[in-house]
Amino acid sequence: MSATTSTRVVRVPEETHNEATQVAALRQVQAGELLAEAWREYMENHRKEFAADLEQVAKLLRDGTLEQLAEFTSRNADARAAKAIERLNSKRRSPDARAEKDATSEDSKERIHA
């Protein structure tokens, strides 16, 4: 695989980052290259699903109502919202998050009393 010529920040769960970094080290590549390869593979393996969704959206745009289009495009919204809430709650419960919050709180108290 060729060297990455451009870079962007992408936020991934810490566990995913750690696993990607470890596997990349074993393969002697950069974690970004490994993730780019995985993304290309994902897109290739799901191309038909994406095409079917795009065809459905086109059909709804031509023949459907705005409500039908909205319903189709938001069909996974509840699941995405539940996952986002789960991630937030997980961060709040994690020892690292609590320690960081405590440290920030102490720093704020020091600035107030200074």
| pLDDT tens per residue across span 37-56 | 999 999 999 999 999 999 99
CA 8/CA 109 separation, integer angstroms: 36
Q: Would you say residue 1 has pLDDT above 50?
A: no
Quick one: pLDDT at residue 9?
Answer: 87
CA 97/CA 90 separation, integer angstroms: 9
The reported pTM is 0.54
Average of pLDDT values for 9-30? 93
DSSP 27-95: HTS-HHHHHHHHHHHHHHHTHHHHHHHHHHHHHHHHHS-HHHHHHHHTTTHHHHHHHHHHHHHHHHHSH
**Residue that wins the pLDDT comparison between 80 and 40:** 40
Q: How many CA atoms lie within 13 A of 46 on its CB side?
A: 9
User: Sorting pLDDT into bands at 50, 70 and 90, what band is 112?
Assistant: low
